[in-house]
Amino acid sequence: MASPSKLKSVLRRRSSIEQRCREDEATRARLRYQPWYHHPEKQEGAHVWIGGKRMLMMSSNDYLGLSNHPRVVEAGETALRTWGSSTTGARLANGSRAYHRELEEDLALFLGKEDCQVLNAGYLACMTAVSTFAQKGDLVLVDRNVHSSLWSGISLSSARVERFAHNKPSDLQDILLTEDRSIPKLVVIEGVYSMEGHIAPLQELLEVSRDHNCFFVLDDAHGFGVLGDRGQGTTGYLDRNNEIDIICGSLSKSMASTGGFIAGSKALVEYLRTHSKQTIFSAAISPAQAACARTALRLLQEEPEHRERLWDNTRYYKRLLNQLDLDIWESQTPAVPIIVGGKERAYRIWKNLMDRGIFTVIAIAPAVPPGRDLLRTAVSARHSREDLERVAEALSRAFKRS
Ligand SMILES: Cc1ncc(COP(=O)(O)O)c(C=O)c1O
């Protein structure tokens, strides 16, 4: 045990940065209320156990419910036995393996692109999809509601940035009309907005973008596996997707794995392999992750019943929420926010739901626009109708008490 004088001198030696971290209000509030970073000790189907209590998982993005599918689990096990646990290196140096290329070829084919590169996180992939192609002197036009990974990519690129109103092609058009045509431009959007559950008006945005010769980056993390007649994502609504230069996304949602992808023309993906620091200097995704994602991609094509059940569940859940007159921000997808408005109320309702065995997650400003504090829920093919009825019942009671 340190003496009081020793303790004092240790405290005195703290750097101003450590002091700033210790005094950070957001961290203190998080630790006081504990709304995030839970540690379930067990998981079965759509349920997790926290402190021995069974909770219905309503916040994960396992849209197709494939994370425990026997074929996905078996593929992961086989890959682990065949290749070991890790490539322990970056692709460029020593990390590329046949299973990376197989996954990339399957993804490219499925997305209708010539080539694809996988990275070890969706965040990294989406950030890279912007930072690799935008550079100082360029202009990035971005929907103001995009995910943090895309903002990180924009910051890293040092390009100038202009935000356009969420899902408003006319605003994009207005901004473009004021800009010098000779400046290289990128348009950056999401196919499905992860908090709002909104689908981008892709065709209209592409038309505006084409008129101004913009490079188009689509993050389809939440559309991939969910939308389109085959689960190909938001591009399923287009006649042709070759006007989209880059489609990036995550393997941690419908693909029930971990990792991310960037798909585009051969020339663009080869350029990325030369220039993306996140690819060159970061270890490749593990054998098991790649195998699980590749199998999930096959299941998406071979077993349409998962997507059908996902959409059945989504329609049913939204009907229940509409009956309760809850504001779901006009969500068009299985990502269903419940707007609460005000972070104190969001916290109370979230806590009440937790006490009733329903696991949701709160998103508060600045992660969402001010006054749009929300509980984010996401429907999975794995939920049963009874599960969703339980959520509606719990929401009804929690809102009455708040
Ligand atoms: C739109 C969007 N892009 C990228 C990501 C990052 O994906 P990952 O969690 O696989 O890193 C997310 C994650 O939630 C997301 O919602």
- C-alpha 250 – ligand 1 centre gap (Å): 6
Residue 258 alpha carbon, nearest atom of ligand 1: 10
Does residue 252 line the site of ligand 1, with CB under 6 A? Answer: yes
Pocket test for ligand 1, best of 36, 62, 118, 123 (most atoms within 8 A of CB): 123
The first and second tokens of residue 139, run together, are: 């202009």
- C-alpha 3 – ligand 1 centre gap (Å): 48
**What is the per-residue pLDDT across 353-394, written as a single tens digit (0 to 9) for each?**
999 999 999 998 888 888 889 999 999 999 999 999 999 999
pLDDT over threshold 80, residue 296: yes
- pTM score, whole prediction: 0.95
How would DSSP label each residue in 61-128?
Answer: --TT--TT-HHHHHHHHHHHHHH-S---SBIIIII--HHHHHHHHHHHHHHT-SEEEEES-HHHHHHH
**What is the per-residue pLDDT across 228-272, written as a single tens digit (0 to 9) for each?**
999 999 999 887 777 899 999 999 999 999 999 999 999 999 999
366 versus 313: the higher-pLDDT residue is 313
Rounded Cα gap, residues 303 and 45, in angstroms: 18
> For residues 234 and 228, is the Cβ–Cβ distance under 8 A?
yes
Does residue 113 line the site of ligand 1, with CB under 6 A? Answer: no
Q: Which domains does the chain have, with CATH numbers?
A: 32-61+304-401 (3.90.1150.10), 70-302 (3.40.640.10)
pLDDT band at 12 (very low <50, low <70, confident <90, very high): low
Rounded Cα gap, residues 337 and 246, in angstroms: 28
Pocket test for ligand 1, best of 252, 285, 361, 376 (most atoms within 8 A of CB): 252
> For residues 149 and 277, is the Cβ–Cβ distance under 8 A?
no
Does residue 376 line the site of ligand 1, with CB under 6 A? Answer: no
Average pLDDT over residues 3-19: 76
Does residue 126 line the site of ligand 1, with CB under 6 A? Answer: yes
pLDDT over threshold 70, residue 9: no
- C-alpha 8 – ligand 1 centre gap (Å): 44
- Identify the bridge partners of residue 261 per DSSP, sorted by sequence position: 118, 249
**What is the per-residue pLDDT across 96-153, written as a single tens digit (0 to 9) for each?**
999 999 999 999 999 999 999 999 999 999 999 999 999 999 999 999 999 999 999 9
- C-alpha 182 – ligand 1 centre gap (Å): 32
Percent of the chain scored above 70 by pLDDT?
98
Q: Quick one: pLDDT at residue 10?
A: 63
Q: Whose CA is nearest to atom 10 of ligand 1?
A: 122
- C-alpha 78 – ligand 1 centre gap (Å): 27
Q: Quick one: pLDDT at residue 369?
A: 83
